[in-house]
Amino acid sequence: MPYSTHPITPSDAIPLARNNCTAFWHQPYWRIMWPKDMQLPFMLAQVEKRITASVIINNRDAMRHEKAVDDETGEIIGYCRWMLPEWLVQRGKETGEVIWKERQVEEVSEDFRKKAEEEMEGAWFEPREDMGELDEKIDEAMARLSRDREYIKLEYLAVYPERQGQGIGTALVESGIRKAEELGVPIFVMGFDVSRRLYMRLGFREMESVLQDDRKFGGDGNYNAYFMVYDKHLV
């Protein structure tokens, strides 16, 4: 079925939560972050409450969002989020130019923001706290590898399960690649096994990997993080 890409809007909380949660629900590395008895309907309800304040309208100056929409049903079937480096945001402020404006979420009223924040505060959010040793190694590598160079960061990519394998993720990432090339800024991404092949196929180069066994936490033994860069001068 045909689809098209658009910016995210402040009213996209429910369809975006549906897309993002279901995209990762069957990924072992994501499921072990939550209590074993967690059910998808409950998780969806909580993410719907949180996603407007924590994602959609958060850090509007730096964040850029793109959704893929089924042209027949109007449903969100893919989502990608990017973060501009601080120097690029600052340059835009100094020149009066909004960088990548076509993928910036529209401004919302203070009342809208307050309501979204109150809804987020009332949502359940209790990821496991005993997996720190896994994430500490990933966080250390992330900070070290992105410290000495300013990148556009590809923060998040999710495609609705029934639409995976149809080129939607590729199209969303390629959209960001085109913008990064236009701006002359390389891209940094951290991905797991499920997304590594896509990034490599699109020209990302692996800088480092952190391979860990998560079976003692209930995982499948593959808690593997790959740190990659896209730079047109290296492709």
Question: In this predicted model, what pLDDT tens digit does every residue of 40-86 receive, in sequence order?
Answer: 999 999 999 999 999 999 999 999 999 999 999 999 999 999 999 99
Domain boundaries, the chain: 3-230
pLDDT, tens only, 177-189? 999 999 999 999 9
Q: Which residues of 98-125 are buried (b: 16+ CB within 10 A; e: fewer)?
A: ebbeebbbeebeeeebeebeebbeeeee
Mean pLDDT of 206-215: 97
CB 160 within 8 A of CB 211: no
| CA 61 – CA 105 distance, rounded (Å) | 9
**For range 138-165, the mean pLDDT:** 93
Q: What is the pTM of this model?
A: 0.94
Sign of the torsion angle spanned by Cα atoms 27, 31, 36, 39: negative
How many CA atoms, within 13 angstroms, populate the side-chain half-sphere of residue 127? 10
What distance in Å separates the CA atoms of residue 103 and residue 172, rounded to the nearest whole number?
Answer: 12
pLDDT bin (cut points 50, 70, 90) of residue 234 is: low
Q: Residue 200: what pLDDT?
A: 97
Domain 3-230 has CATH 3.40.630.30: yes
Neighbours of 216 (CB within 10 A): 11
Overall average pLDDT of the 138-149 stretch: 89
User: Helix, strand, or coil here: 213?
Assistant: coil
* Per-residue pLDDT reduced to its tens digit, 82-101: 999 999 999 999 999 999 99
